[in-house]
Amino acid sequence: MKAYQPARGTRDLYGDEILAQKFVTDGMHHVAHCYGYGEIITPIFEFTEVFARGMGEVTDVVSKEMYTFNDRGGESITLRPEGTAGAARALVSNGLAQDLPLKVYYIGPMFRYERPQKGRYRQFYQAGVELFGVDTPNADVEVIALANSFLKKVGVKGKITLEINSLGDVESREEYKKALLEYFKGYEENLSEDSKRRLHTNPLRILDSKEECDKVICENAPKMNDYLNEFSKNFFDEVLKGLDALEIEYKVNSKLVRGLDYYRHTVFEFITDELGSQGTVLAGGRYDDLVSELGGPKITGVGFASGVDRLALLLKETPNKQRPVAVIPLNDEYKYQALKIADDLRAEGVFVDMAFNGNVGKRFKKANKANAFKAIVVGGDEFDRGNVVIKDLDSGNQKEVSIKEISKEI
RNA sequence: GCGGGUGUAGCUCAGUUGGUUAGAGCGCCAGUUUGUGGUUCUGGAUGCCGUGAGUUCGAAUCUCAUCACUCGCCCCA
């Protein structure tokens, strides 16, 4: 029979890898809790329209990367490609706008039909937060601070830098787009093929093109910053001041833009130099119209999403595994007594490893392989006296201990 | 969707100009050890050489296709 492989871009998580993923998600649970964010679990699939409306019809994610299918009832269903739209929809569906601000975080799989690479999968995991209903810059600051704490907590190796920019409000953005379009049209001939296309789809994108010919042209392109209106400018300044106050280092990158249509004002990315072109490890920003697009009231939001798989790849070392206590019957005669002792310890919350077979020597070997730090030997004269032998597997020392005292001795 | 690289044991890889029974290290199992592990020592199992076709007397080796992985582009976390 043919051995099956997982479908392209998917993989099985187990062993050390899942420990790394769990370390990342545990960090998220912990940090989000400290900032007062509650967990939200939204469905893994939604009506296609939720994502199409929320993210913008022309974005690449919507137009060519979604896992979309018709269910048996004929509804167009899409596996969620990101978390924000679903969270916004949940807010609307459940009337959560009654009690603002709403602070939520989520952790779970997302799906995009893309060519897989290192740190990029078709089923991948994101951990993100959303803060709804605060339209002042301190919301942006809090979310970025949370992101910063989260990355610190996870303790990833390599250099991670925060880049930040403002896209301004709708008015500023439109002004800027116009100026940019005009500028690039003068150089259309010299733009890369990709950028010629972007000129019509998303001119802002040209700014962070990796093509040399585009970079040269972008040197003298109009700067977003010069097109921010008074309000947008003040907003951005306030955000930066907040970051200064928190001593969070950042780099203003006027060429930083985002792929999804809903972003306004603040956009930011935490980038590592260790993952090649998949260097973005956490990214987010402010969005103003997403909730109303989905049929809710006009509520603003700020949030970010982080790539759990990418962060797991960056961990300095695999998190320490807890070491078990091994319970070893001296011979078959004592197997039930040993089992009872193991079970009692487990009931007390002790991590107990017990081999399923083998003589004493074999069981010690297995205990060693399981990286046990103590072995409890059950049987013989000692057992008749109501005792067991506890051996420290690191030092090799062992002593006789009353069965009742076992949990005190380990 | 586009371009480059790679597919040999569970893992990391070697395999000469095509030549008959395909190798190493690690890991795994067993013995050394029927009241005591980690180090040794000895033995053992494991491969449709990614898959399919072609060239050839003969293919892990050459050609094509296909699938998967990987690196970059697009895009994105």
Mean per-residue pLDDT, A286-293: 86
Q: Give Cβ neighbours of residue A214 (< 8 Å, ≥ 6 apart).
A: A191, A192, A195, A206
CA A291/CA A303 separation, integer angstroms: 13
* pLDDT at residue A57 in the model: 65
Nucleotide nearest to A198 (CA to C1'): B74
H helices within A155-269, ranges in order?
A: 170-185, 193-201, 212-219, 224-227, 230-245
pLDDT digits (tens, 9 = 90+) for A215-246: 777 777 788 888 888 899 999 999 999 999 99
Instruction: Decide if A84 contacts A291 (C-beta within 8 A).
Output: no
Instruction: For residue A70, list its beta bridge partners.
Output: A76
- Looking at the predicted structure, is the pLDDT value of residue A1 above 50? no
Tell me the average pLDDT across A77-96. Answer: 92
Residues 85-114, chain A, CB closer than 7 Å to nucleic strand B: 112, 114
Q: If we measure between CA atoms, which residue out of A43, A103, A45, A114 comes closest to residue A304?
A: A103
Write down the domain spans for chain A. Answer: 15-169+229-314, 325-409
| pLDDT, tens digit, 9 for 90 and up, residues A3-34 | 677 888 888 888 888 888 899 999 999 999 99
CB atoms within 10 A of CB A363: 23
Amino acid at A207: L
Query: Using the CB atom, is residue A306 less than 7 Å from strand B?
Result: yes
ipTM of the complex, rounded to two decimals? 0.81
pLDDT of residue A317: 67
Closest nucleotide (CA of A398 to C1')?
B36
Q: What is the pLDDT of residues A123-164, one digit of tens each?
A: 999 999 999 999 999 999 999 999 999 999 988 766 788 999
Closest nucleotide to A279, Cα to C1': B77
DSSP H or E stretch at residue A406: helix A406-409
User: Could you say which nucleotides of strand B lie within 7 A of any protein CB atom?
Assistant: 1-3, 28, 30-31, 33-38, 67-77
Q: Does domain A325-409 have CATH number 3.40.50.800?
A: yes
Whether the beta carbon of A121 falls within 7 A of nucleic chain B: the reply is: yes
Q: Give the distance, in angstroms, between residue A333 CA and nucleotide B34 C1'.
A: 13
Q: Within 13 Å, how many C-alpha atoms sit on residue A126's CB side?
A: 29
Residue A311: nearest nucleotide (C-alpha to C1'): B77
- What amino acid is encoded at A339 in this protein? L
Among A146, A164, A143, A162, CA closest to A154: A146
Instruction: Name the architecture of domain A15-169+229-314.
Output: 2-Layer Sandwich (3.30)
Cβ < 7 Å from strand B, A residues 323-362? 330-331, 358-362
